[in-house]
Amino acid sequence: MKQLAKLQHTFQDCIIHPDKPASTAWVSASGRAAPEVQLSIYTHAYGARLNEVLANDYPAMLMAIGDDHFNQLADDYIQAHPSHYFSLRDFGRHMPDFISDLIKQHKGNKDEYWQNMHWLYELAMFEWTLGQAFDAADVSLFTEEDMATIPFEAWPDLKFTLHPSVHRLDFEWNIPEMWQALTADEPSQVAAMRETASPWLVWREQLITRYRSMQTDEQLALDTLRSGKSFNDVCETLATLINEDEVPLHAATLLKGWITQGLICGVQ
């Protein structure tokens, strides 16, 4: 068994680090191809499969930068973050940060392709978040009927639990517009435009991944809820933005909307 484990480790090391000098004496030379050729087939298949995974996770990014740049980016990513999981679902999780570091490395270098791609990090983050929302655990939702059973005096101290698929993002670029254009049945060009930072919400409603922008009042209220604070804290947050007399109704309206959209899964 120890010999088998050693053989497996050697094979894995050759596949993951193809540029690393290594002996091929352990590979049978009686096959149709030389040992080096046999290993190269597996090395190519390993890289091609991981590249395919990244292309499936980041289709808009692939469309935005083209095959050549994407393939080079994928190869560099695979070298920096080899797969360590039996499942490939989480393999691309580091891509947004990888892109951010890549852009920082080329900052100020006018001859480099990547230094003009400041929006690419947000596009990658958006695509990864869409996938995470879709794959989130399926849990029971809190309903309007459940809300109706809560005694009035209990409301101030209530804390609500958000559905596992709920994510909050802030964009400085027109990312959702770009993503829609790039992933359409007939992709179209759209310029990356810098805009006032805007809050966005991503979640899954049944089997459909949703996303939408939020006004400042809703964003602050939802962020207060997400931080584990009470309904009373949400009301106090809204009181800094609107007339105090309007707060209870507005808070209840926001909460009802979140419940209707499937953002709430529990209360405590």
CATH number of the domain encompassing residue 268? 3.90.930.50
| Domain-embedded: residue 128 | no
How many domains, in total, are found in the chain?
2
164, 232: one domain = yes
Confidence band (pLDDT; 50, 70, 90) for 38? low
Pairing of strands 208-213, 160-162: unpaired
- Cα 133 from chain centre: 8
* Amino acid letter, residue 136: A
Residue 135 has pLDDT above 60, yes or no: yes
Structure confidence at residue 113 as a pLDDT band (50, 70, 90): confident
pLDDT at residue 30, as a whole number:
63
125 is a domain residue = no
For residue 126, being part of any structural domain is answered with no
Residue 119 maps to a domain: no
Q: Residue written as tokens 């060009």?
A: 189
Query: What's the pLDDT score for residue 197?
Result: 87
% of the chain exceeding 70 in pLDDT:
82
- Confidence at 106, pLDDT banded by 50, 70, 90: confident
Of the candidates 90, 123, 156, which is a domain's last residue?
Answer: 90
Where is the domain boundary, 59, 74, 90?
Answer: 90
224: pLDDT strictly greater than 70: yes
Confidence band (pLDDT; 50, 70, 90) for 39? low
Q: Residue 181 sits in which domain range? A: 137-268
Where residue 214 falls among pLDDT bands split at 50, 70, 90? very high
> Within a 10 A sphere around the Cβ of 144, how many other Cβ atoms?
10
Indicate the pTM of the whole model: 0.85
Least confident of 32-46, 63-77, 157-171, 251-265: 32-46
Within a domain: 223: yes
pLDDT at position 256:
95
Establish if 108 belongs to a structural domain. no
Q: Is residue 83 a part of any domain in this protein?
A: yes
Same domain, 141 and 73: no
149 shares its domain with 253: yes
Residue 101 lies in a domain: no
Residues 141 and 60 in one domain: no
Q: Which of 53, 75, 90 is the last residue of a domain?
A: 90
Does residue 264 surpass a pLDDT of 60?
Answer: yes
